[in-house]
Amino acid sequence: MHLGHINYPPTTLGEAVDKWHHDTLPLDCVMTVSDPATLDGGQFEWFRGTKHEMAAMRDRGETIPRERIVAPAFPGPGYAIALHGDMIVHRGAPLNTLAERISMVNGYVAMDPSVDEQSRSRDLIALDVQRAIADMRGGEVPPEHYE
């Protein structure tokens, strides 16, 4: 099963297209829709280290050493990279010049319920089970839910 979304650029220069983060899903495919050759900045980047290292660096107020940031080359629109999005810290770097920078991301989860999908989906569902069920039923929330 896959879940997809499209990233559009911010309208403010210097603002990351997508801030440093890791995903909730175990496998992502990030595809550039725009031609990277037409963009100044906005590259997809990942941190060469663990998400725990990144969290510790953030807590210490450290900046990420440039040599630990990897920006893979995307030769043109339609090229993609697959990554363990829930383990790899990544971002869309800020644009240096405003432009139409669009990427499409598909995230994949195992359909076999016996497989540990290594995602945080259970945490998200646990936030508000009644609301999630209600959304699936067209928005009707049992009145006792908010009492």
Residues of this chain that bind Fe ion (CB under 5 A): 23
Smallest distance, Fe ion to C-beta of residue 83, A? 8
Smallest distance, Fe ion to C-beta of residue 23, A? 4
Q: State the SS3 of the chain.
A: CEEEEEECCCCCCCCCCEEEECCCCCEEEEEECCCHHHCCECCEEEECCCHHHHHHHHHCCCCCCHHHEECCCCCCCCCEEEECCCCCCEEECCECCCCCCCEEEEEECCCCCCCCCCCCHHHHHHHCHHHHHHHHCCCCCCHHHHC
Query: At 90, which amino acid appears?
Result: H
Smallest distance, Fe ion to C-beta of residue 132, A? 22
- Phi first, then psi, for residue 93 (nearest 5°) are -65, 160
Closer residue to Fe ion (CB): 5 or 122: 5
Contact 19, 58 (CB under 8 A): no
Closer residue to Fe ion (CB): 52 or 137: 52
Closer residue to Fe ion (CB): 102 or 134: 102
Smallest distance, Fe ion to C-beta of residue 85, A? 5
Smallest distance, Fe ion to C-beta of residue 29, A? 11
Closer residue to Fe ion (CB): 23 or 117: 23
Closer residue to Fe ion (CB): 23 or 45: 23
